[in-house]
Chain A
Amino acid sequence: MRAGIGLRARHLDEIVQHAGAVGFLEIHAENYLAGGPALRKVERLRRDHALSVHGVGLSLGSAEGLDATHLARVAALVERLQPAFVSEHLAWSRVGGTYLNDLLPLPYTEESLGVVTRNVERLQMALRRPVMIENPASYLAFVHSTIPEPEFLAALATRTGCELLCDINNIYVSAENLGFEPGGYLEALPAVAIGEFHLAGHARKDVDGETVLIDDHGSLICEAVWTLYRDAVARLGSRPTLVEWDTGVPELDVLLGEASRADREASRAMQA
């Protein structure tokens, strides 16, 4: 499967003219739960394109469990669109009925692993299919974490039968922000569980005189992330790959160009 792109509102009409230009299209589930013209357009696009439904609000890391209403709405959307892939994040955003609209970090402990396992099982039960769980972009870690992130994800995949969505940019961003070696992270991921790669750009920001990478999906994929992508493909094998762009979304051609480059980089890595 050739690389896909994240489908954003400004490209909805134009992409109809480009059937076959991309391997697949990914939508954010929460943008389409309220119905409206955008959902009707995606239903038409669905005829010519493989779809990926990417949740951003299920809050799989919430200790209080999943929001039953939201879960049912996502399940209904998945039922309606019958996408090729369904994915969510290893993160949380909901506590005490408040939704914080951020992919917040989890401490990697046995307790958290139990919570996420229960929530992923409940999600997969509601959807009646396995999902992919994405590694987060991290800005902080917890002193009481006891399990390295790739091992936490591997254990989650073993316990729930879920696949993993390996976001290469997130690994790079987290490695810079938290100070670990991205190669070692890739090494620790279970190759058999990886179902998809994500690629995106990030921003460099100054925080109190220190550089922090922000996962803003707002620029071209940087060379270091392309290098890490080739490493990942060489080590884990090629997988459906998606290019995301959310901040200052450019012309469609720019995204199509990034998706083509992902295809070329993957072939190059496989031949090496």
Chain B
Amino acid sequence: MKTTQLMLVSAIASLVAAPAMAQQKTESEKCYGIVKAGKNDCQTATSSCAGTSKTDGQKDAWIAVPKGTCEKIVGASTTPKK
């Protein structure tokens, strides 16, 4: 317990003495942010949503193949297993 206390006190003291060190690692690394849009704007509008496809949800009628950034991810199959 005493060792832990000393470790904490010394860690805090050295960060106080060199605040730039505390920030350095984080700032030199990428930090990725994402902003979310309103998701409840679609009720009043039938939106892009507009349309009347007869095949909605009838996924058995066809099997979609993933076609996105997965094509640049190697080491796994992008082919859906049946």
Q: Which residues of A contact B (CB under 8 A)?
A: 8-10, 28-31, 36-38, 54, 56-57, 89, 93, 101-103, 200, 203, 205, 207, 212, 214-218, 244, 246-248
Contact = CB atoms under 8 A, between A and B. Distances in A.
Interface in B37-61: 37-52
Contacts of B2: none
B52 A246 contact: no
A247 B40 CA distance: 12
Contacts of A30: 40, 43
Interface of B is mostly: loop
A183 B5 CA distance: 80
B36 interface: yes
Given A56-B43, A57-B43, A101-B42, A9 B50 contact: no
A93 B40 CA distance: 13
A36 B38 CA distance: 11
Classify chain B's interface size. 10 to 19
B33 to A, nearest CB: 11
B40 A215 contact: no
A246 B51 CA distance: 16
Contacts of A8: 38, 41
Contact of A216 (B39, B46, B52): B46
Interface string B43-82: 1111111111000000000000000000000000000000
